């Protein structure tokens, strides 16, 4: 049997790149644009070589000689490179058809104006295992409204492809054609492609679907971006600087933020069953955009007992999620995936679906959905988070070993929520995200620097807004656990906030508790700062608006800090 890496790589490099003319001065073809001092096409070829792929066919048109002169036969790259030059532009499928003699039975098609970090062998294996004639790499992006969308069935077989100007009546899922394909040569059977300009996605795929030939969709969070415009080119350069292609690759386990839906991402309207009832919380999409740009996966995990109760069909739920994705994309954010539990253990509803009335593994606080996501996306749960508004979310987080953030946008009362021991608490999904991406690691690092000061300390006074004080307590807690400090350290928050709860927390996780400020007022003051001052760390928390600086500590004396967050 042929080895996967012997598969031929077709690079479509015929584009004129008119939108990059300022960069290329029309002197070099678009695939030769420099990224980190190296032609983009060289990046592509090297990525393939690293994975063991050596056989390339480059399809050329505009300024073909520039590319041929640079790469030659491929010898200096330890590759076999062949070329096919188009006489007149024939579109992507037309160009392939005209190269028929040089195509092997199966090949990978890559657009040369994309920057890619994809495990091609895994993609190929998926294609081979699925036994389809074509496979399309698809992913959610932050502009589905002007992208080519791929509609899939429950087995991820392609049902239809939609261009931005041709959309179905019902909203469809944010799954964009990333223009990376595995194709079998046999799809070119017949004489249908001999004339005119023919595009792979717009013409060829619909045609073969019509002929009953199956196409698979390969869903992956790996990095693929085209750099066809000046803006996109500079975005790709920024992403590379942040190691985004590596973070999203499958070379090492990914980080994820699991996000509850109702009461966290959107308003909890109770039994949401109509797309017109979806109300995004302020900045939900913006928060997701920040998650997307960080290389962390954003994955929604939601209990949807409405399905078992017969109040909503699976198709109806899919419409709701497609609409939700569209709304999030208006703020340039996307979810990498949405997992839902359709089950509900209790019976007695009119119209309920019997088969779904079970005690399942997926309904939170069970962690079936989190485990499934972790398997599919290779997620390191220990480095991942959950954000939710209910105890079920926090319990699920506990069981899965995630860091847990409670948001106060849901229905549950504060008192009840605090019982479920979140690691951190924030007023909204947006602020929770902000904490994870921009504050938590920095604050943790700063506090660790001063860790020797914590030894022998009995009390910590945190002066600042109550919620943030609690979260700083949470960081203390983690550091102490890491240091193996087991004795209880009191943290007294002296301030009251608009949320009316202060904080008293022992440093041992098991004895941690937060209490209502009003009811426990006396308790909080039974030790005045003066009484404990001998053995005290005092931390002033200053919340800066519009943070431009990183959080930092001003160390006035060994045991007193001001912490800017």
Q: Is residue 262 annotated as a catalytic residue, yes or no?
A: yes
Which candidate in 98, 262, 319, 459 is catalytic?
A: 262
Q: Is residue 557 annotated as a catalytic residue, yes or no?
A: no
How near is the Cβ of 317 to Zn ion at its closest, in Å? 13
Structure tokens that stand for 535 in this block: 């053995």
Minimum CB distance to Zn ion smaller for 335 or for 362: 362
How near is the Cβ of 341 to Zn ion at its closest, in Å? 3
Structure tokens that stand for 97 in this block: 């058809």
Q: By the 8 A CB rule, do 164 and 145 touch? A: yes
Minimum CB distance to Zn ion smaller for 23 or for 343: 343
Pairing of strands 149-152, 158-162: antiparallel
Alpha-helix residue ranges (DSSP H) falling in 343-455 = 368-377, 391-400, 414-419, 429-434, 440-449, 451-454
Minimum CB distance to Zn ion smaller for 173 or for 364: 364
Binding residues for Zn ion, rule: CB under 5 A, are: 341, 343, 360, 362-363
Minimum CB distance to Zn ion smaller for 213 or for 360: 360
d(CA 170, CA 319): 7
CA-only gyration radius of the chain, Å: 28
Pairing of strands 215-219, 134-139: parallel
How near is the Cβ of 324 to Zn ion at its closest, in Å? 20
Dihedral sign computed on CA atoms, order 88, 94, 96, 97: negative
Which candidate in 98, 239, 260, 268 is catalytic?
A: 260
Cβ neighbours around 75 below 10 Å, total: 10
Minimum CB distance to Zn ion smaller for 58 or for 362: 362
d(CA 29, CA 21): 9
Minimum CB distance to Zn ion smaller for 253 or for 365: 365
How near is the Cβ of 363 to Zn ion at its closest, in Å? 4
Q: By the 8 A CB rule, do 307 and 273 touch? A: no
How near is the Cβ of 340 to Zn ion at its closest, in Å? 8
Q: By the 8 A CB rule, do 215 and 209 touch? A: yes
- How many contiguous H segments (helices) and E segments (strands) does the chain have? 20, 25
How near is the Cβ of 365 to Zn ion at its closest, in Å? 12
Residue 493: asked if its preceding bond is cis (omega within 30°), the reply is no
> Which of 482, 502, 483 lies closest to 493, judged by CA?
502
Task: Give the residue numbers marked as catalytic.
Answer: 260, 262
């Amino acid at each position: 049997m042929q080895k996967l890496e012997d598969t031929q790589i077709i690079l479509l490099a015929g584009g004129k790149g008119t939108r990059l003319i300022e960069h290329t001065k029309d002197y070099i073809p678009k695939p030769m644009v420099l990224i980190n001092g190296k032609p983009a096409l060289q990046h592509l070829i090297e990525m393939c070589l690293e994975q063991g792929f050596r056989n390339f066919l480059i399809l050329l048109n505009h300024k073909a000689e520039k590319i041929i002169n640079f790469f030659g036969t491929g010898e200096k790259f330890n590759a076999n490179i062949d070329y096919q030059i188009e006489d007149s532009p024939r579109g992507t499928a037309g160009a392939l058809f005209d190269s028929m003699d040089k195509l092997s039975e199966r090949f990978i098609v890559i657009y040369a104006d994309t920057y890619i970090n994809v495990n091609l062998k895994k993609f190929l294996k998926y294609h081979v295992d699925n036994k389809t004639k074509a496979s399309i790499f698809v992913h959610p992006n932050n502009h589905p409204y002007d992208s080519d969308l791929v509609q899939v069935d429950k087995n991820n077989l392609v049902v239809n492809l939609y261009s931005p100007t041709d959309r179905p009546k019902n909203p469809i899922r944010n799954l964009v054609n990333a223009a990376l394909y595995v194709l079998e040569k046999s799809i070119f059977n017949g004489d249908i492609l001999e004339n005119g300009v023919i595009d792979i996605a717009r013409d060829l795929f619909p045609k073969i679907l019509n002929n009953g030939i199956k196409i698979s969709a390969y869903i992956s969070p790996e990095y693929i971006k085209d750099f066809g415009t000046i803006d996109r080119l500079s975005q790709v350069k920024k992403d590379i600087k942040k190691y985004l292609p590596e973070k999203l690759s499958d070379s090492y386990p990914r980080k994820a933020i699991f996000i509850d839906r109702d009461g966290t991402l959107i308003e909890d309207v109770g039994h949401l069953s109509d797309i017109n009832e979806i109300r995004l919380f302020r900045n939900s999409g913006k928060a997701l955009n920040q998650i997307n740009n960080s290389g962390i996966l954003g994955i929604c995990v939601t209990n949807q007992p409405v399905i078992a109760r017969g109040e909503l069909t699976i198709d109806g739920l899919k419409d709701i999620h497609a609409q939700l994705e569209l709304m999030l994309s208006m703020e340039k954010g996307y979810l990498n995936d949405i997992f839902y539990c359709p089950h509900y253990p209790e019976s007695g509803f009119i119209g309920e679906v019997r088969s779904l009335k079970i005690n399942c593994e997926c309904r939170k606080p069970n962690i079936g959905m989190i485990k499934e996501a972790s398997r599919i996306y290779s997620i390191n749960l220990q480095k991942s988070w959950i954000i939710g508004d209910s105890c079920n979310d926090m319990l699920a987080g506990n069981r899965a070993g995630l860091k847990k953030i409670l948001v106060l946008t849901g229905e549950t009362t504060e008192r009840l929520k605090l019982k479920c021991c979140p690691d951190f608490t924030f007023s909204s999904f947006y602020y929770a995200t902000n904490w994870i991406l921009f504050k938590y690691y920095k604050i943790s690092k700063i506090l660790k620097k001063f860790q020797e000061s914590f030894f022998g300390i009995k009390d910590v006074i945190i002066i600042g807004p109550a919620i943030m004080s609690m979260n700083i307590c949470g960081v203390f807690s983690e550091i102490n656990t890491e240091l193996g400090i087991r004795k209880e350290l009191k943290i007294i928050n002296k301030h009251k906030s608009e949320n009316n709860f202060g904080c008293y927390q022992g440093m041992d996780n098991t004895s941690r508790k937060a209490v209502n400020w009003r009811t426990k007022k006396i308790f909080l003051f039974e030790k005045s700062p003066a009484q404990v001052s001998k053995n005290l760390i005092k931390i002033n928390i200053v919340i800066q608006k519009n943070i431009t600086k990183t959080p930092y500590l001003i160390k006035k004396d060994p045991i007193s800090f001001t912490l800017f967050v």
